[in-house]
């Protein structure tokens, strides 16, 4: 008899994260393209040793007092106590190589915290799209793609990434989906994939970044497959297992 | 000076319904294509006098005891105490003309209940798409399109309707949107609009209906502009104001 197929689901925001995920056997992929999960992939590409995701700003301040390198921003602005903010370019500097970074952001690290009791939690971005898809295909588990969104709202950039990843997984006959969100995400990915930067022009978060003069990260964030990292969350920290 | 533009937002599920809506000046459009809002439009097209949306099954049973006609279903099945279920065809029968119907469903009437304290609540479906759009353009208020979804999850059929309505509103220069959900919904509508029934083949709720041998309603539910009704919720009941 054939083994039952594994399911692929997409949650467009943390508010839609299904309760069952913490009880059953799932891998949760955390997605915050602008910018936490892109930055985490960049960090491991740059040989950062470990990232400690911190769910609130008070705890992030405490990490700084303990002597950690701290990356933290709130609504696109660097926190006063932090070493730097949320741009992936900060995580590519040579000063952070082999170091541990405590990291707290508006949306991304909160989504990681929400999933922390799940069986396995992994970090996804366009940087590691194909590597992550191949790794997931070898895990033989149901997959939930959790978009961090913006303050619990749907956003386009996380959703098109979710579609890209869902489409790759469903091209493998061992995966199946009955999830309308996954179907919609795949359609949005197929509309946008030939010109991601143009498509993302209409995303509201892009406009927030532009106001903050931070949109130099866009081309980097939307270029697929520059990295083979597989950042996995375990024992309160994220490490690269690839 | 020009008057400020009115905003258009889409909520993909009741869980994403923004708190501000009950405080500020908004019109909320309730959408449950399969099948509550389609059925409500059908009812008024058939000259039903009034529909009382009932948020829970116990209250629906009490309406039956008081002598009302009661329409109620749970997950696609007619409740034992009810006169009929959720198919729009029930609401087109001559026995219900000029009558008041108490109505309780899995998703749609709960979404109406959630919005009941808002400034104005109106019922949308493909049946009254253009009529509703024209009416909304004359109201000079911000619009939130609230998809009932399926048990608080995103669904395709409500989302493509939201896209159809958002696109019509945004073709009017008095409306604007900074909402990523509205942008995504419009894209999904444009992918699907030339063959709605084929597109909806992949919606999970369609499969639930097919199992229940209820998919004779699909062609009716996805045919735009068969009706000019404007069903508005006021004082605990829905009446047609057009």
Whether chain B has a CB inside 8 Å of the CB on A107: the answer is no
> In this model, does residue A218 exceed pLDDT 90?
no
Can you give the pTM of this predicted structure? Answer: 0.94
Tell me how crowded residue B90 is: count the other CB atoms within 10 A of its CB: 23
Whether chain B has a CB inside 8 Å of the CB on A12: the answer is yes
Structure confidence at residue B107 (pLDDT):
83
Q: Do B181 and A15 touch (CB under 8 A)?
A: no
The shortest C-alpha distance from B33 to chain A (Å) reads 15
Where are the strands (E) in chain B, listed by range?
A: 6-11, 26-31, 50-53, 69-74, 77-78, 100-104, 120-124, 142-147, 175-176, 231-234, 237-240
B214-238 tens-digit pLDDT: 567 888 999 999 999 999 999 899 9
The shortest C-alpha distance from B194 to chain A (Å) reads 15
Domain ranges of chain B: 9-235
> In this model, does residue B17 exceed pLDDT 70?
yes
Structure confidence at residue B233 (pLDDT):
96
Structure confidence at residue B24 (pLDDT):
73
Q: Do A156 and B183 touch (CB under 8 A)?
A: yes
The total number of residues shown for chain B amounts to: 242
Q: What is the mean pLDDT of chain A?
A: 92
Q: What is the mean pLDDT of residues B79-84?
A: 96
A147-183 tens-digit pLDDT: 999 888 999 999 999 999 999 999 999 999 999 999 9
> In this model, does residue B22 exceed pLDDT 90?
no
Burial of A137 (0-12, 13-18, 19+ CB in 10 A): middle
CB pairs under 8 A between A and B: 65
Structure confidence at residue A181 (pLDDT):
97
The shortest C-alpha distance from B237 to chain A (Å) reads 30
> In this model, does residue B42 exceed pLDDT 80?
yes
> In this model, does residue A127 exceed pLDDT 80?
yes
- What is the CATH T-level fold of the domain B9-235, as seen in this structure? putative 2-phosphosulfolactate phosphatase (3.90.1560)
A71 contacts A84 by C-beta, under 8 angstroms: yes
> In this model, does residue B105 exceed pLDDT 90?
no
Whether chain A has a CB inside 8 Å of the CB on B156: the answer is yes
Whether chain A has a CB inside 8 Å of the CB on B227: the answer is no
Angle separating helix axes A156-170 and A204-211, nearest 10 degrees: 130
Structure confidence at residue A190 (pLDDT):
98
Whether chain B has a CB inside 8 Å of the CB on A177: the answer is no
B181-197 tens-digit pLDDT: 999 999 999 999 999 98
For an interface test with B, give the residue of A13, A17, A178, A180 to mutate (most B CBs within 10 A): A180
Q: Which CATH class is domain A10-223?
A: alpha beta
Burial of A234 (0-12, 13-18, 19+ CB in 10 A): exposed
> In this model, does residue B35 exceed pLDDT 70?
yes
> In this model, does residue B1 exceed pLDDT 60?
no
Q: Do B179 and A15 touch (CB under 8 A)?
A: no
Who has greater pLDDT, A212 or B187? B187
Per CB-CB distance under 8 Å, the chain A contacts of B155 are 180
B126: CB partners within 8 A, 6+ apart: B33, B38, B161, B164, B196, B221, B222, B223, B224, B225
For an interface test with A, give the residue of B11, B33, B144, B154 to mutate (most A CBs within 10 A): B154
Structure confidence at residue B205 (pLDDT):
64
Whether chain B has a CB inside 8 Å of the CB on A16: the answer is yes
Where are the strands (E) in chain A, listed by range?
A: 6-11, 26-31, 50-53, 69-74, 77-78, 100-104, 120-124, 142-147, 175-176, 231-234, 237-240
The shortest C-alpha distance from B189 to chain A (Å) reads 11
Whether chain A has a CB inside 8 Å of the CB on B77: the answer is no
* Residue in A closest to B151 by C-alpha: A16
Q: Do A152 and B16 touch (CB under 8 A)?
A: yes
B113-159 tens-digit pLDDT: 889 889 899 999 999 999 999 999 999 999 999 999 988 899 999 99
Tokens coding A62 = 């405490």
| Cα dihedral A98, A104, A107, A109 in deg (nearest 10) | 60
Tell me how crowded residue B236 is: count the other CB atoms within 10 A of its CB: 10
- ipTM of the complex, rounded to two decimals: 0.94
Tell me how crowded residue B12 is: count the other CB atoms within 10 A of its CB: 28
Structure confidence at residue A30 (pLDDT):
97
> Torsion-angle region of residue B67: left (phi > 0), alpha (psi -120 to 50) or beta?
left
Helix, strand or coil, per DSSP, at residue A108: helix
Per CB-CB distance under 8 Å, the chain B contacts of A187 are 187-188, 191
The Cα A141–Cα B56 span in angstroms is 37
Q: What is the mean pLDDT of residues B46-68?
A: 96
> In this model, does residue B204 exceed pLDDT 80?
no
The Cα B162–Cα B33 span in angstroms is 10
């Amino acid at each position: 008899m054939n083994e039952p197929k594994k399911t692929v689901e997409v949650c467009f925001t943390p508010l839609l994260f299904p309760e069952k995920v913490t009880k059953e056997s799932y891998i949760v992929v955390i997605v915050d393209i602008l910018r936490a999960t892109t930055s985490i992939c960049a960090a491991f590409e740059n040989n950062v040793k470990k990232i400690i995701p911190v769910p609130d700003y008070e705890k992030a301040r405490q990490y700084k007092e303990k002597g950690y390198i701290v990356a933290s921003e709130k609504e696109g602005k660097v926190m006063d106590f932090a070493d730097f903010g949320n741009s992936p370019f900060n995580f590519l500097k040579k000063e952070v190589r082999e170091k541990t970074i405590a990291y707290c952001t508006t949306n991304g690290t909160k989504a990681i915290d929400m999933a922390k009791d799940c069986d396995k939690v992994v970090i996804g971005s366009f940087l590691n799209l194909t590597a992550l898809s191949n790794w997931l295909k070898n895990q033989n588990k149901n997959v939930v793609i959790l978009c961090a969104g913006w303050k619990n709202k749907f956003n386009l950039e996380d959703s098109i990434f979710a579609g890209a990843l869902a489409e790759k997984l469903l091209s493998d006959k061992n995966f199946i989906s009955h999830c309308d969100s996954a179907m919609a995400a795949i359609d949005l990915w197929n509309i946008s994939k030939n010109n991601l930067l143009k498509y993302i022009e209409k995303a509201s978060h892009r406009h927030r970044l532009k106001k903050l003069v931070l949109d130099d990260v866009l081309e980097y964030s939307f270029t697929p497959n520059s990295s083979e990292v597989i950042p996995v969350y375990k024992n309160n920290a994220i490490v690269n297992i690839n």
